[in-house]
Structure 1
Amino acid sequence: MSRTKAFVGFVSIALMTLPLGWRIVRHTAADMLVGAPIEALSWDAGDPRALTALVRGELAAAVRSDNPAAAAARLLSVDPLSFEGLSLYGVALIRGGGNGARIDEIFKAAAAHSALDRIAHVQLFFRAATSGNSNDAFRELDILARGSLDVMPSLARAVKVMIANDPNVEAALARLLASRPPWRQALLTYLCYVSGHSDVLARLYEQLRQSAAPPTDAEMSPYLAQLVHAGHIEDAYLAWLGHLPEQRLSKVGAFYNGGFEHPMSDLPFDWRFIPVAGASMEIASRERERVLVVRFYGARVAFRHVVHLLALAPGTYEFSGSVKLLNLENERGLRWKIVCSDSSEPLATTELLTGTTPWLSLRARFTIAAEGCAGQWLVLEIPARAAVEAEVSGEARYKDLGIVRLDTSAELR
């Protein structure tokens, strides 16, 4: 039975019991027509949901009424505790040209009524931000972000503008983030996205690094990724060094974590495993040694998913390590490749290997030119030239990977 037929039948029954029946008809009609608020209000002029829908639709220009503020006021007269009703009234007044202290008081009252009233808190945030009141703005930001991270992109853009307009906001934001609010990672991620490479971000991360709550690996990741993507390899490397625990700095060398002695951070300048169907990667203990284990399951995999970013200065180097294969079947084989970060032409590759082997030594020498190679990628790959060459099964293990300089003039950046 259609919704219309059901309603007509209900009307017929309800009319038999006037006047109670007529009230039931009006409320039921308004309920059924809540998606068409003007029609719903023609049945029940005081239906709160229809009034709310009318005000929202009018403010979004989806429907037309004579006066959205009047509709919002009528909603409040019918249901003074309507969720977001007071906020809708405030927005309607702004749309009609109103502003000033009265509007502020309306939104403050709405926010005090419900911490979940997003309209009120968004309005209070932007009104405080545009008036230069960073303390109130950050208080509202905290409320909004704790309620939902959906608003974070807009909040991050607003924070960027606040910092540009008032240098003091930067220090206030750093203090707030140092308290480690639950939304800190989300805000930092979006700030990196909207700010690009900027001195503001560099200072903000440095202030956090020196605080009692320094950035986590997950919080550093978008900042370093943004720097690497923009080609600022040296800046990224220095920021990464500053993030490392102090006890590890003396052992960084030319190639960090080559023996897999430290937990992976998934950051640039450390190992990164990129998930891919048909293969798995892990660091495991084998024969009392830490070993990189890569397994393939018979699928076609254009494999280049174990990577490590380097920041080597111009000079001559040698990459070395050990490999053991277990039934590795592939048309071409696995190899390590070293390539400049802005080029696809390899600086060096190791020998292509397949089959089953005992532990074998790997070596490859390469030279980094004085120009045009600010960063380098070490990549484990199957250099398949066609789909059939990507089909692979078996296992490969690697240990004791390292890079040493062969000319004494070469230094880390």
Structure 2
Amino acid sequence: MRLVVVLAVAGLLLWRMMVSGVPAPTQQRAAAVEQTPAGALTQRGADRLQAALSPQEDPESDDEQAAPAPEALRQAFQQNPTDPEPLLQTAPRLLAADETARADAMIEMAVRLRPADPTVHLRAGRFWMERGELEQALRHWLLTLEADPTATEAIFPLMRELADEAETREVLMPLAMTPPSWWPAFFADLAEHSADIGAVRAFYELRTAMSFEPLTELERKHYIERLRREGRIVEAYLAWLNGLSPERRWELGLLYDGGFESEPTGWGFDWRMQGDETVLVNYTKTYGINGDQALHVLFREHEGPMAEVAQPLFLDPGEYRLSGRYRADRLATRGGLRWIVQCVQPDQSLLEESQRFLGSNKWDTFEVAFAVPASCDLQELRLVSVDEFGLSRAISGGIWFDEMRVRRIPPPAATQPSVVEASASVEPTTVPEADADAAEVAEETLGPVATVLGVEGEVLVTQAGRYVMAREGRGLELGDRLITLEGSTAVLEYSAGCRQVLNANRLLTINGSERCEPSESSDD
């Protein structure tokens, strides 16, 4: 009890010195605290608080929500000198009156009184942010989160303000390089709510390039979703590819994991599968499949909208063919089920739909041709129920799918030569036109348009609708897509004799013969 009284008296003495501008106590003065009557110090400290507040007294107001009057703060302090609340309310008043030194001292004393109180640190951080002392503010917010991990709803918006401005962003960068446990949640919040995609990208690139901790799935997921919302589809696709494990890259193709061998993640360019109590959607074994698993959708007198079975597609403009195998098992519904391919960005429109699946049958095949227009940046494949007459009826039974694939139908040889390239920086590389003679020769040439001359790191190339690792000497034909992952490069040699270097994080689609400088300048 004696210790509490001593601390209270010492706190009152410190407050008195802060509001009156008296220097910090010497050791001799501090030692005299125990001989000072507590009541007298309390009264003098309250008088000093009143004096500090007097110049900032507000006129009388009928507003019940107005800030406490100075007299109320003085009385609160007099009643409980160990309560930091009067200090926390006094500091902004002093700051507004340009009494910055005294305001700073008030905040520092409040923190000393309650060093483990997350609310005190939160309010101290706000004070220092108002003062422009951002590192001080961040230090208090970190202490807030350490004391109360649930304080993210209060802290993250404040940190987001710092991240959104280029001038204040750097104060958070050390956290990105050595991220605390809550950093992925903060980055997800930033990706979801930041007004500036540049801020999101800056921290993502810092995490991937300089952090000692690997990027988490939560961070990559929210980064990709933000890029998609911004219409930066190439950038989103490359970020997703770079996050795939070597095992999951085996399932890469224009349609990802069409054999349903890996459990879906539900984000990026993977399958989105969501059932409910009347629809079971899963990957499981059955007879007649190619591989270990197939997609099974089982209905138990389901009514209402179809459960989600869908995958985003990133396809270049051109002609494609969707194919697969299916087996219906007493699938009873008025209109049946079918796959649809639709454009979803920038505008939604139906591109094509498959045959209807209904009843029962042994394993059979299906296919549907569709075209992706140049105006469609992002597509989607989705399983839907057919309701031709607008009548709702329960669906029962099940259906299996396996060996689904999307392949590009090569354009005619006479197509105008072009190379379409995009990168994670969103700025496509412009390659000069070849001369007319070279273009004519290329149109008449059969076989590969280009050859992979050299590879460093992991480079992917399409093959019959799937991605495989690119190797030196591999020929590239019309419609082939070449992707260099992070830290990788590729060198291509075209049939006209010129060369092109594809740096890291690039995507190149060959839609015709080369468009680059003649061979005499290709070695630069």
Conservation of the 8 A alpha-carbon contact between 2:251 and 2:258: no
Please state whether the residue corresponding to 2:293 is helix, strand or coil: strand
- Name which structure has the greater RCO, CA cutoff 8 Å, separation 6+: 1
Partner of 1:410: 479
Q: CA deviation at 1:356?
A: 2.3
Q: Does 1:252 align with 2:252?
A: yes
Please state whether the residue corresponding to 2:219 is helix, strand or coil: helix
Partner of 1:217: 217
Conservation of the 8 A alpha-carbon contact between 2:194 and 2:200: yes
Q: How does 1:301-320 map to 2 (within 5 A)?
A: 301-303=304-306, 305-320=308-323
Q: How does 1:24-173 map to 2 (within 5 A)?
A: 62-63=64-65, 68-82=69-83, 84-91=85-92, 93-94=94-95, 97=97, 99-115=99-115, 117-129=117-129, 133-146=133-146, 147=148, 148-161=151-164, 163-166=165-168, 168-169=170-171, 173=172
Partner of 2:356: 352
Question: 2: distance between equivalents of 1:386 and 1:92?
Answer: 69
- CA shift in 2, pair 1:91/1:373, >3 Å: same
Conservation of the 8 A alpha-carbon contact between 1:269 and 1:310: yes
Conservation of the 8 A alpha-carbon contact between 1:304 and 1:379: no
TM-score by length of 1: 0.74
Question: 1: distance between equivalents of 2:229 and 2:116?
Answer: 38
Partner of 1:322: 325
Q: CA deviation at 1:397?
A: 2.0
Residue 107 of structure 1 aligns with an amino acid whose one-letter code is I
Question: 2: distance between equivalents of 1:97 and 1:340?
Answer: 59
Question: 1: distance between equivalents of 2:69 and 2:285?
Answer: 68
Q: CA deviation at 1:77?
A: 1.8
Gap runs ≥5 in structure 1: 1-57
Q: CA deviation at 1:130?
A: 5.0
Residue 364 of structure 1 aligns with an amino acid whose one-letter code is V
Partner of 1:400: 403
Query: CA-to-partner distance for each residue in 1:72-128, whole Å, 9 max, x for gaps?
Result: 23212211233645323434555x746513222322332333356455323332344
Partner of 1:388: 391
How much is the aligned-residue C-alpha RMSD, in angstroms?
3.1
* Seq. identity, %: 23
Query: CA-to-partner distance for each residue in 1:140-171, whole Å, 9 max, x for gaps?
Result: 2323334212214522432234x4224533xx
TM-score by length of 2: 0.59
Question: 1: distance between equivalents of 2:72 and 2:314?
Answer: 63
Partner of 1:202: 201
Question: 2: distance between equivalents of 1:356 and 1:395?
Answer: 9
Conservation of the 8 A alpha-carbon contact between 1:303 and 1:382: yes
Question: 2: distance between equivalents of 1:131 and 1:284?
Answer: 60
Question: 1: distance between equivalents of 2:398 and 2:254?
Answer: 28
Residue 254 of structure 2 aligns with an amino acid whose one-letter code is A
Q: Does 1:188 align with 2:187?
A: yes
Q: Which moved more, 1:398-407 or 1:97-106?
A: 97-106
Q: CA deviation at 1:385?
A: 4.8
Q: CA deviation at 1:137?
A: 3.1
* Equivalent pairs, count: 349
Partner of 1:241: 241
Query: CA-to-partner distance for each residue in 1:22-66, whole Å, 9 max, x for gaps?
Result: xxxxxxxxxxxxxxxxxxxxxxxxxxxxxxxxxxxx99953468x
- CA shift in 2, pair 1:64/1:388, >3 Å: same
Q: CA deviation at 1:300?
A: 1.6
Q: Which moved more, 1:307-316 or 1:126-135?
A: 126-135
Query: CA-to-partner distance for each residue in 1:387-409, whole Å, 9 max, x for gaps?
Result: 63453122222222221222153
Question: 2: distance between equivalents of 1:98 and 1:361?
Answer: 79
Partner of 1:13: none
Partner of 2:370: 366
Query: CA-to-partner distance for each residue in 1:202-256, whole Å, 9 max, x for gaps?
Result: 2311221233323322222222222212222122112212322356557523222
Partner of 2:500: none
Residue 391 of structure 1 aligns with an amino acid whose one-letter code is A
Question: 2: distance between equivalents of 1:145 and 1:105?
Answer: 23
- CA shift in 2, pair 1:410/1:135, >3 Å: same
Partner of 2:230: 230
Partner of 1:340: 343
- CA shift in 2, pair 1:331/1:250, >3 Å: closer
Conservation of the 8 A alpha-carbon contact between 2:122 and 2:155: no
Conservation of the 8 A alpha-carbon contact between 1:283 and 1:293: yes
Q: Which moved more, 1:218-227 or 1:331-340?
A: 218-227
Q: Which has the higher strand share?
A: 2
Please state whether the residue corresponding to 1:289 is helix, strand or coil: coil
